[in-house]
Chains A and B, each alone.
Chain A
Amino acid sequence: MSTADMSLPAKFDWSSQAAVARRRSRHAADHRLRWIGIVAIMIAVGLLGILLATLVSTGYRAFVQTMATVPVYINPEYVDENDPSKGNYRAIVKDTLTSLFPDVTNPRDQRDLGKLLTNNTQFMIRNKVVADPSIIGTTVEMTLPVSDPFDQLEKGVLSRELPEDQRKINDKEIGWFDALAAEGRISTPFNWGLFFNSDSRFPELAGLAGAIVGSFYALLVCFLISFPVGIAAAVYLEEFAPKNRWTDLVEVNINNLAAVPSIVFGLLGLAVFLNFFGMPRSAPLVGGMVLSLMTLPTIIIVTRASLKAVPPSIREGGLGMGASRHQVITHHVLPLALPGILTGTIIGLAQALGETAPLLLIGMNAFITSPPGGLLDASTALPTQIFIWADSPERGFVDRTSAAILVLLGFLIIMNGIAIFLRQRLERTW
């Protein structure tokens, strides 16, 4: 039968009013759909923008710290040259301040002068002397953080307009601070302490070093456990496991595991690692183990997807050459799947880095003032440090909470950036 023989349907009137209306409504629907999408994206981006804007607007203050540069006379009367760690450094601080304000003679006022500098000034001087005992008997210029209320005053958070009885510092104290400022002794350099100090009760001294090191150790443990285990499990499930009810069950459970609320993993860690195995509380080792429980399903799922994406022709090519299965997997399939696996792993670790709830349950929200020296030392992690600071009443901690969130987000952006870089760099086409 040739085409000429085929009967066409009755001629359709494409220009009738009904047809035109139908076409118009179809176009309108297309248009609506596109606009709904654009509005949705605008809402998402807008909310993200608001979040970042608030974080930056409060957090930027924590990235600078008001410091006072003062001449400190290391009086040999107070410090024993042979054992500099046991000197009367408190007196040195007092002398330093009274020498700056010779007209303050009232003992009560003299004591109040001490509020200008951070509470730990005496220890900072001690550390300096211990590090270099030759400065005993000389005057050294030291740049020390001022205490939180003055820091806030300098940054304009604490208003001078406020009635005196509502401020933490009175007019006289502000006068002293202004006098120091007039002498050019006040500066606001970049706050390296935020990265190199550990937690402290005093916001002007509190930093993230302990949390960063703790998070690093926890992620290291998490990676060392979940990466090999995840890949091994995924390779077995994808390349070796027979397709039967048992492997289906395992598969469903792994997918469900990825959706289990993180606090449940925390409880598991508390019950199993701490109570049953008696592992140390607050340790990055346990934190990492708990986090690896959460990262494992992600890595398994991503690895399986990457293995699936390797074209079967590569496997056939290998098998057809007489390569054994493990040779096909280790020589051909895994190297090709690696970019995807690495990307997924980094994204899984980034998730783990931001995870708070399970760490709270195993006690990684303790108050710890020095970075952990190893996997078994008590420590905090970045998200738990944010949690602790967000709970602290001092004004300085509000800024530091935002700053810590920005630091955490910075790490996440870096990790995701590495993932994108690896993906683009290593991905091969065939």
Chain B
Amino acid sequence: MNDAAVAEKPVSNKTIVVEDPNMNPIRVAAKNTNVFYGQKQALFDVSIDIPERSVTAFIGPSGCGKSTFLRCINRMNDTIDGCRVTGDISLDGRDIYDPSLDVVELRARVGMVFQKPNPFPKSIYDNIAYGPKIHGLARNKAELDEIVEMSLQKAGLWNEVKDRLNDSGTGLSGGQQQRLCIARAIAVSPEVILMDEPCSALDPIATAKVEELIDELKENYCIIIVTHSMQQAARVSQRTAFFHIGILVEVGPTEHIFTNPKDERTHDYITGRFG
């Protein structure tokens, strides 16, 4: 099996999928997704099923296309000039590239947390209230207050900021800012939360807090996290997908990927031979 994979390496776009009988129902499914930036192809025939109420980690060396794929799921790639996506990506069975689907609605259902904490330069309250306001999720101030409190509670930030909701969100520490961004994302009750290297700008203590939060959030949300830290993937995720030069090489239960990778490239990467 291993030998065959090595022989085919230069051309194979095949993904090794390790089945998991205990996997939750599928929330996001991609079939043969290709992404092009102008003439250059960045992703080759990526097919993956992502289960709900669990954390799926995307790992791989820089430039392997893991962030590109993540950004396909809420169509953030639409904002990049010359970016083209083919293939099918569906959320709850519905094609998200269907022209009749409003991207505004999609992004409300698929929240995103970015690499660098990017709170709006507004008050903490306004940061959280912004999403519910633009989507009309609250009928009055009381409901909005409740959403803000709930979101901050869920993000584990409420006790730290409840006395200074009117202070600027940019005045918080890096880790608090990132948890604020997570609270902002969950304020609109998304089904999926995409996290693009959410801890790469944080110190180890803040990282631990965010990881703890991710672990709690997985009870309710489908979380997809891109990370450069294999320890982080091992700590927080239930499933791991390994990308390499635009190809989804292997996907399976996290402990399986880290202890018994089927593909040599996966093996090399997780043992630190490259990347």
| Chain A interfacial positions (CB closer than 8 Å to B) | 242-243, 311, 313-324, 327, 331-332, 336, 428-430
Instruction: Give min CB distance, A64 to chain B, whole Å.
Output: 51
Interface residue? B76 (CB, 8 A): yes
Instruction: Give min CB distance, A21 to chain B, whole Å.
Output: 47
- In the bound assembly, the distance between CA atoms of A332 and B107 in angstroms comes to 17
| Chain B interfacial positions (CB closer than 8 Å to A) | 74, 76, 79, 81, 104-108, 111-112, 114, 116, 118-121, 130-131, 134-135, 170, 181, 184-185, 188
Partner of A320, one of B111, B119, B135: B111
Chain A residues positioned under 8 Å from B185 (CB to CB):
320-321
Partner of B104, one of A323, A332, A429: A323
Say whether B105 contacts A332, CB under 8 Å.
no
Partner of B134, one of A313, A320, A327, A336: A327
Chain A residues positioned under 8 Å from B104 (CB to CB):
322-324
Instruction: Give min CB distance, A56 to chain B, whole Å.
Output: 44
Instruction: Give min CB distance, A74 to chain B, whole Å.
Output: 67
The contact sample of 19 A-B pairs, CB cut-off 8 A, is A242-B81, A313-B114, A313-B116, A314-B120, A315-B79, A316-B76, A317-B118, A317-B120, A317-B184, A320-B107, A321-B107, A321-B185, A322-B104, A322-B135, A322-B188, A323-B130, A324-B104, A331-B130, A429-B170
Say whether A322 contacts B120, CB under 8 Å.
no
Chain B residues positioned under 8 Å from A242 (CB to CB):
81
Chain B residues touching A, majority SS: helix
Closest to B127 in A: A317
Chain B residues positioned under 8 Å from A332 (CB to CB):
120
Chain A residues positioned under 8 Å from B105 (CB to CB):
322
- 18 other contacts beyond A317-B181, A322-B135, with CB at 8 A cut-off? A311-B118, A314-B120, A314-B121, A316-B79, A316-B114, A317-B114, A317-B118, A317-B184, A319-B79, A320-B76, A320-B112, A321-B107, A321-B134, A322-B107, A323-B104, A336-B121, A429-B170, A430-B170
Closest 6 CB pairs of A and B: A322-B108, A322-B107, A320-B112, A313-B118, A317-B118, A321-B131
Say whether B134 contacts A319, CB under 8 Å.
no
- In the bound assembly, the distance between CA atoms of A430 and B121 in angstroms comes to 7
Say whether A319 contacts B76, CB under 8 Å.
yes
Instruction: Give min CB distance, B148 to chain A, whole Å.
Output: 14
Say whether A323 contacts B134, CB under 8 Å.
yes
Say whether A321 contacts B116, CB under 8 Å.
no
- In the bound assembly, the distance between CA atoms of A191 and B86 in angstroms comes to 77
- In the bound assembly, the distance between CA atoms of A311 and B114 in angstroms comes to 13
Instruction: Give min CB distance, A364 to chain B, whole Å.
Output: 43
- In the bound assembly, the distance between CA atoms of A319 and B76 in angstroms comes to 8
- In the bound assembly, the distance between CA atoms of A220 and B104 in angstroms comes to 39
Instruction: Give min CB distance, A333 to chain B, whole Å.
Output: 11
Decide yes or no: A321 and B76 within 8 Å by CB, A243-B81, A314-B120, A332-B120 being known contacts: no
Instruction: Give min CB distance, A327 to chain B, whole Å.
Output: 6
Chain B residues positioned under 8 Å from A429 (CB to CB):
170
Chain A residues positioned under 8 Å from B118 (CB to CB):
311, 313-314, 316-317, 430
Decide yes or no: A320 and B120 within 8 Å by CB, A313-B114, A331-B130, A430-B170 being known contacts: no
